[in-house]
Structure 1
Amino acid sequence: MSWEGLLRELADPHTPLRASRLARLSDLPPARQRELARAWPGIDVSRRRQIVQRLLELSEENLEMDFSPVFLMALDDQDADVRVVALRGLTGEERLEIASRLLATLQGDPEPQVRAEAALALGNFVLFYVLGQLREKHFLPIEQALRKVIEDPDEAEEVRARALEAIGYCVDRPWVREAIRTAFESGRHRLRVSAVHAMGRSAEERWLPLLVRELTSDDPELRYEAALACGAIGDRQAVPHLAPLLEDQDQEVREAAIAALGEIGGEEARELLTPLLDDPSPAIRAAAEEALVELEFAADPLSLRSFLDDR
């Protein structure tokens, strides 16, 4: 099929979006990018949503496919849902050009759900900085933008929450710890959840007493986030406090506790996880096996094969 034929097919809402056709949008040269950009506004909005969603799925299935030029173009779409999916497609990108576009979206997009997604995507660049993969001078505008959002009482709560989660990795900044504590004590449910999430991203043991308390919260979302945060911190003191969550009424909380025990490791965690290999729930059995693989590998990479053979 010709390039012109592909553009016509993309615009036709009655034509199925075939993976083999969409793959041609990977690694688009500049001339084709411009042609697609000219044709894009003429495609029905529901079709544009379908296209970016399918491209996102294809990029997750095949990491060699690069649809970033399409996602960057879609950041200028008039539809907020298209822009949100485009941002998800750019998550994980390391180029400074992408960081600049994410910053511009965070600071200028009129829709809060889009700004929230941009804040979340910037979290990857915070992590790159913490890992030494992003220079200080390039990180500072990101830090300043996220801080401004977090501290702005007029900003939408979801945007502030996502910005806090994004900056959570950056524990060498005292203001970040203070922002986490302020959000946790704010009395606002969404901000409290994001604070617990950020505690996990910080991986700081200082938060463990607060997290242990949240493991007994009446709110399953807080129990879920606290369990994952305990796993990220990796302190074995959390193991006995995670044990009751293995029988939690909320399955997602159970799975979070299982994953956390796998991350923390140790004999006590192994003893708690092993019986779950015979749980009636297939999802729980699968989660327990994955957690035990994680645990065994962390303890002794050479023992992993014998564990898998026993299964």
Structure 2
Amino acid sequence: MTAKASIQERAAAVPRLRARKAAGTHHVAGYLFISPWLIGFFLLTLWPIVRSFYLSFTEYSLLEDPSWVGIGNYKEIFLQDGLFRQSLQVTFAFVALSVPVKLFFSLLVAMLLNKSIRGISAYRTAIYFPSLIGGSIAVSVLWRNIFDLKGYVNHILGWFHIPAVAWLSNPDTSLYTLVLLNAWQFGSTMVIFLAGLRQIPQDLYESAAVDGARPLGKFWHITLPMLSPVMFFNLVLGIIGSFQMFTSAFIITNGGPANSTYMYALFLFEKAFKNYQMGYASALAWILLVIIAVLTALNFLASKYWVYYESEGGNAK
């Protein structure tokens, strides 16, 4: 009986072994198919992140081997580098101005385009088009020409006998030109708002109209609550993108005048590729990562007080 039972157990185990072997073959095939992504992730994403973290504790100039300095870079950044504080102050001001302005115009345009009229698709495409080229060097050069002392804006002001304004060379106005450019690149944010508006049930507006609600009341009590998850998403992405703003500041003003547009990303770039202080620049990059992570976490914590989720039973999360 024991030998017979052993033979039966072995016979029953054969299909299981074959199934495991077939599953293992499928797993190998799956890994082979995603191997290009895995190679790219480990070599182009994960390894640079780990390497950057290590370099942030070293003195490295690309021409010599890294030398360990511990937290020396961080101590110099926080205690001695005045440009660090200046760039951080400018960047925070830029984020505080540009993100709300961009969200406002994106939502305004999205509501205007949320209509069922003839040719609305063409209007949406035309308004979204600037976002496809908004971050390019060519647009930055064009923006610089528009707000130059002899640019198009001052030329138009001259028609009304208004003196020319030094938009880019005046520390009081230079940052606002970059804020305006960032707000002009609202196409992607507008499309996301438009998708959110299309998901709001129309019967809510019809019921509100029956109760005598006015357009402003509908917007405040229906549109904003139902659109709050989309607004939260755009807010987080807007903050992250604004902290990394580089091209416009580099091409249009190069951080001037008087460091009034000296963005954090521009400061990091100069440390890395002008002064060849790669270790110092790596420390700056990790500080920026921590700042963005903290602000994102604070946004998620605050979202429970103003973001409405229908699945949560009509209450803010």
TM-score (norm. length: structure 2): 0.20
TM-score (norm. length: structure 1): 0.20
